């Protein structure tokens, strides 16, 4: 990949909690990137936005008459400038990005779905 400090890491995510047990709060976790020399840098998802819980909706008057789910996953794009990772650790080289990690260390519980990981 031809990456530099102006490149954007894009994560497309959704709350994947069961429809009958949605989280009560927004989800936050840490995105960690590593370069080929092992230098790492971390940013919380909340530095862009929190992952919002799925919304429940009652569509029918008698929901017991339908097998449709009361909610569905809605994916959100979260964009992180690689330069922001370099600011958190100047030793991190965005041009030598080798690994992306999702570290679940900020919200006590939850489930997420990852649809895409891309760069702009």
| Residue 30 near residue 45 (C-beta atoms within 8 A) | yes
Structure confidence at residue 17 (pLDDT) = 83
Structure confidence at residue 79 (pLDDT) = 97
What DSSP state is assigned to residue 94? Answer: G
Residue-by-residue pLDDT tens, the chain, 120 positions: 788 888 999 999 999 887 666 667 899 999 999 999 999 999 999 999 999 887 766 666 666 666 666 667 889 999 999 999 999 999 999 999 999 999 999 998 888 999 999 999
Structure confidence at residue 10 (pLDDT) = 97
Enumerate residues 6+ apart whose C-beta is below 8 A from 32.
40, 41, 42, 100, 101, 102, 103
Structure confidence at residue 65 (pLDDT) = 66
Give the C-alpha separation, 43 to 102, whole Å: 10
pTM of the entire structure? 0.82
Structure confidence at residue 71 (pLDDT) = 67
Give the C-alpha separation, 114 to 31, whole Å: 13
Structure confidence at residue 66 (pLDDT) = 65
Structure confidence at residue 22 (pLDDT) = 66
């Amino acid at each position: 990949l031809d990456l530099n400090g102006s490149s954007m890491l894009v994560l497309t995510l959704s709350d994947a909690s069961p429809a009958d047990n949605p989280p009560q709060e927004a989800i936050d976790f840490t995105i960690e990137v590593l370069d080929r020399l092992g230098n790492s840098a971390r940013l919380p998802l909340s530095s862009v936005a929190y992952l919002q819980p799925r919304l429940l909706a009652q569509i029918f008057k008698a929901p017991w008459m339908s097998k449709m789910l009361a909610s569905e996953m809605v994916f959100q794009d979260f964009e992180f400038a690689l330069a922001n990772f370099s600011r958190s650790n100047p030793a991190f080289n965005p041009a030598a990005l080798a690994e992306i990690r999702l570290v679940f260390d900020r919200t006590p519980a939850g489930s997420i779905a990852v649809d895409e990981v891309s760069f702009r």
